[in-house]
Amino acid sequence: MLDSRLPLALNGGGLEWPAEGRIAVFGPSADLDLDGIPKDRAEIIHDFYPAYAAWKARDYTVAVTAEGRYSAVVVCLPRAKVEARAMIAMACALSDGFVVIDGQKTDGVEGILKVMRSRVTVQGPVTKAHGKLFWITEPAADQFADWVAGPTLTDGGFWTAPGVFSADGVDLASALLADALPAKIGKQVCDLGAGWGFLSAHVLQREGVEAVHLVEANYAALECARRNVTDPRAEFHWADGTDWSPAHKIDTVVMNPPFHVGRAAEPQIGQAFVASAARLLTPQGHLWMVANRHLPYEAELKTRFIQVDEIGSDARFKLFHASRPLRKRRE
């Protein structure tokens, strides 16, 4: 992790912050210790809502996108290779001092280091905790111009972006759920964890829909959804799907919930989405959901809903229809 390698680089490793100016930190996980970076000069750049909110709560300056010039930029590598390269290209274009790159081996840091060494002079690396930290002292916008990446139009006619879920095209599970949705789905619908808007686009084709709330934590994905879903009945919410609340209860929730943040499966995330869906719905509300076959969601569904049915499946996925959410007395 950055907080285990950065102190080594700063204390005898050859890295020293410029005397003044803002220091941008791209994509740090919410639990990092950034004591090695002056807090009054740090600006966290994060487009994932839970992390954004967590850094705000720690009284850091936080922004969704980087703007202006920085005296230094720290890049915390994400899993997606194209997204990681795009972040490095942006960092080199915006830094007047140097660019620090930090990542785990499982996030491809060694491959990034190898390619960067073939183009520029690299300082370090500092190796610890299954990862590496290194830096370049004279970044320039043209050094990695070929790594710049933004929204792209898929073969299916949808806009996606590096790092968003199913960036290469339509997710098979979402397509399975879209085909299973009924002709009449309700007036007020929520697409919980909407991604770049595939399910919402299909929901809006159903009869009687008055509004679809697209709730998505990834800002880049939500921006793609705005381009993909232009129907005026669509309402966009950059929020954590596990705690978002509408002004009024929802008739129907559709979702293909996330089940990991890192590489390991974390079914508790999907379970939290099930609980959130039950909370959002009217007493007679409906949930339409798709999930990977190996994930244990049945027990949570039966805890939260009176009626739960598996309505279809294939070798990889299973479809659920749940209705009439159970209410706790305090609700």
Task: Give residue-wise pLDDT tens across range 19-43.
Answer: 999 999 999 999 999 989 999 999 9
> Does the pLDDT value for residue 265 go beyond 80?
no
pLDDT at 330: 44
Which of 98, 96, 88, 84 has its CA nearest to residue 143? 88
Lowest mean pLDDT among 46-50, 216-220, 296-300: 296-300
**Mean of pLDDT values over 132-152:** 93
Supply angle C-alpha 306, 311, 317, rounded to 5: 115
Question: Which residues neighbour 167 within 8 Å (Cβ) at sequence distance 6 or greater?
Answer: 80, 82, 160, 161
- The pLDDT value given to residue 313: 82
Q: Classify residue 36 by its DSSP letter.
A: T
**How high is the pLDDT of residue 261?**
54
**Residue-wise pLDDT tens digits, 266-289:** 778 999 999 999 999 999 999 999
Token digits for 22? 């803002």
Output the pLDDT for position 331: 44
Whether 329 shows a pLDDT value over 60: the answer reads: no
**Residue 325, beta-bridge partner list:** 305
Q: Report whether pLDDT(11) > 60.
A: yes
- Confidence class for position 264, pLDDT limits 50, 70, 90: very low
Contact assessment for residue 169 and residue 154, using Cβ atoms and an 8 Å cutoff: yes
Contact criterion met (CB below 8 Å) for 120 and 140: no
If DSSP states are collapsed to H, E and C, what string results for 288-321? EEEEECCCCCHHHHHHHEEEEEEEEECCCEEEEE
Classify domain 152-325 by CATH number.
Answer: 3.40.50.150
User: What confidence score (pLDDT) does residue 258 get?
Assistant: 84
Global pTM reads 0.93
- Region 289-299: what's the mean pLDDT? 90
User: What strand order describes the sheet that includes 305-313?
Assistant: 234-238, 211-216, 188-192, 250-255, 281-292, 317-325, 305-313
Q: Are 51 and 62 in contact (CB under 8 A)?
A: no
User: Quick one: CA dihedral 67, 18, 73, 240, positive or negative?
Assistant: negative
Task: Write out the DSSP string of 134-163.
Answer: EEESS--TTTTGGG----EE-TTS-EE-TT
Instruction: Tell me, yes or no, if the two domains 2-147 and 152-325 fold the same way.
Output: yes
To which CATH superfamily is domain 2-147 assigned? Vaccinia Virus protein VP39 (3.40.50.150)
Domain ranges of the chain: 2-147, 152-325
Identify whether the C-beta of residue 92 lies closer than 8 Å to the C-beta of residue 144: yes
Q: What is the DSSP letter of 204?
A: T
pLDDT of the residue at 115 = 96
pLDDT in tens, 65-119: 999 999 999 999 999 999 999 999 999 999 999 999 999 999 999 999 999 999 9
Mean pLDDT throughout 175-191? Answer: 97
pLDDT greater than 80 at residue 146 = yes
| pLDDT at residue 183 tops 70 | yes
Given this model, what pLDDT does residue 171 score?
92
